[in-house]
Chains A and B, each alone.
Chain A
């Protein structure tokens, strides 16, 4: 079974600074997708960024980028120029390409200090 590990229960960053959230996963599959979701206090699940395992290039979405290390099974999220609105729970997620099944990490609560 696939597992997703987020080793940082809480992180804090100063507004306008950069922060990196860690995620590792375990799988024996060769084809899969990785995601970062943001969950603000409203509890909506908002997709931040997506990475296909077969792509070597790291995904980027504006201020959000990932460092995808397939061999190490690592998928960290970097948030640049942090904004107050970035404060939320961030979940790393793995989805198999074979059965659409999605597994989440325990989450990292990000605080942004003004």
Chain B
């Protein structure tokens, strides 16, 4: 069964709306989770590393104020796309895992901004 749960799987909303995506580790504690963005027919691009109890580490070029990450507990990280616009439409996917184990991925969230 899934060890990382991501919700929602699909979001369609109007431009200007803020959207929150949740990523939960189901059977282990994850001090670190990762958020990726994937454009059609492209690879996964790391957006940020979510650290439990501290600020996220963002990759170069990723707007911190646009993509807010909160990792309030060892099993939950959230990504909020603030004031979303059509160019933010994409597939967002999270992952989590212990240091010496493979990363487990959520099933992803398809975000469409109208």
Partner of B44, one of A50, A91, A100, A101: A91
A106 vs B38: C-alpha distance when bound (angstroms):
11
Partner of B91, one of A35, A37, A43, A103: A43
Are the CB atoms of B105 and A45 closer together than 8 Å? Answer: yes
Are the CB atoms of B102 and A44 closer together than 8 Å? Answer: no
B75-95 CB mask vs A (1 if < 8 Å, else 0) is: 000000000000000010101
Are the CB atoms of A91 and B46 closer together than 8 Å? Answer: no
Are the CB atoms of B43 and A105 closer together than 8 Å? Answer: yes
Interface residues of A (CB under 8 A from B): 33, 35, 37, 42-45, 47, 50, 91, 95, 100-107
Name 25 interchain pairs, CB-CB below 8 A, sorted by A: A33-B102, A42-B107, A43-B38, A43-B110, A44-B105, A44-B108, A45-B44, A45-B93, A45-B95, A47-B102, A47-B104, A50-B102, A100-B49, A100-B99, A101-B46, A101-B49, A102-B46, A102-B95, A104-B44, A104-B45, A105-B43, A106-B42, A106-B43, A107-B42, A107-B43
